[in-house]
Chains A and B, each alone.
Chain A
């Protein structure tokens, strides 16, 4: 009789959820939109009418993209993943998860706002390496906890990206470029995983 490894079995649904690459694909697109929205905001001349319009349009664009991408991911899972490998709904995230996510957003957003206003200008070079380091640590933990080796590659890429941006001393924009490039890597990795998932799991005939 084979021994039953309960922890390994209980982690299978999370691995299955990530096997099709759709989460990475959508997260990558969201990161690219996030970085892109703020890069445009930073590139526009301060005080111009474009800049003022963008200040209102950017949060709407960002929020709309986040909602559309989340909805799109579930639609694609319904169309592509569930008919092939079966349907799974993961548990709702805990309150502790939402509190830590909110704290991270407030911390990063607040830091960026201060850097953007010039109040932390001398620390602006830290934005790129700092964001890259945060992503690398998160990817490392996720990769090890759920045994998803490709997340370790993405963590290594994030560190390299951070080192490259640090060498460039890219300032405030460095963090945004990290988002754009790392988002691109997520999209590429997600697309490759989706292709291999679809090839390995042909749709069952009704």
Chain B
């Protein structure tokens, strides 16, 4: 288990990263609905992923409504691929 990326291994963050792996970008509302996390929980997990440069967060407005768009960075994609590879190796 020592080869696993501990940051991604946490189930909530793994769900967020897996969701982002299937999209070009997604907003906060979508991630909250699909992951089942609360507003505060999602914010804190996203902050950790952003700190590790795994995600890129852009805060804009759609009309007068604030819009937070999240994307997986190339570092995040590579980390997710490596995590999946490591997990497959463990399960084999």
Complex interface: chain A residues within 8 A of B84 (CB): 6
Secondary structure at the B interface, as helix, strand, loop or mixed, is helix
* CB contact under 8 A between A6 and B14, given known A11-B22, A87-B29: yes
Q: Bound state CA distance, A204 and B15, in angstroms?
A: 24
Complex interface: chain A residues within 8 A of B64 (CB): 206
B49-92 to A contact mask, C-beta < 8 Å, 1/0? 00000000000000011010100000000000000100000000
Interface size on B, residues (CB 8 A): 24
Secondary structure at the A interface, as helix, strand, loop or mixed, is mixed
Number of A-B contacts (CB under 8 A): 69
Report whether B26 and A87 are in contact in the complex, using a CB–CB cutoff of 8 Å. Answer: yes
Partner of B26, one of A1, A2, A11, A88: A88
Q: Bound state CA distance, A1 and B9, in angstroms?
A: 13
Complex interface: chain A residues within 8 A of B23 (CB): 13, 88-91
Q: Bound state CA distance, A16 and B22, in angstroms?
A: 11
Residue in chain A with minimal CB distance to B14 = A4
Report whether A10 and B31 are in contact in the complex, using a CB–CB cutoff of 8 Å. Answer: no
Report whether B14 and A88 are in contact in the complex, using a CB–CB cutoff of 8 Å. Answer: no
Quick check: is A12 within 8 A (CB to CB) of the other chain? yes
13 new A-B contacts at CB < 8 Å, known A4-B18, A90-B22: A4-B11, A9-B15, A10-B19, A12-B19, A16-B30, A85-B33, A86-B26, A86-B28, A87-B30, A87-B69, A88-B23, A88-B25, A89-B23
